[in-house]
């Protein structure tokens, strides 16, 4: 799944944890900062999502929350 949020590109890539038989939500957030590509990788819990779609939704929400927090940090003096 790919989504643009506040000029950041979010790509999700859940991975199956064979030990728990659950999907691990993962997201790659990328953006351009002064002509350079920046990236941040995020991963969620490994024991919660039996359905890949749920892991993807969680990954997008996790990435959006991270982006919001980063943008707030940029505004803090």
Q: Residue 72 — pLDDT band, cuts 50, 70, 90?
A: confident
Q: 45-69 pLDDT, tens per residue?
A: 999 999 999 999 999 999 999 999 9
Burial of 36 (0-12, 13-18, 19+ CB in 10 A): exposed
Q: What are phi and psi of 8, to 5 degrees?
A: -115, 140
Q: Please give the CATH architecture assigned to the domain spanning 2-75.
A: 2-Layer Sandwich (3.30)
């Amino acid at each position: 799944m790919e989504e643009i949020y506040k000029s950041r590109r979010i790509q999700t890539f859940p991975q199956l944890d064979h030990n728990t038989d659950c999907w691990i939500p993962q997201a790659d957030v990328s953006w351009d900062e002064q002509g350079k590509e920046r990236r941040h990788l995020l991963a969620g819990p490994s024991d919660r999502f039996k359905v890949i779609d749920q892991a993807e939704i969680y990954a997008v929400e996790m990435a959006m929350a991270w982006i919001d927090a980063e943008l707030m940090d940029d505004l803090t003096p």
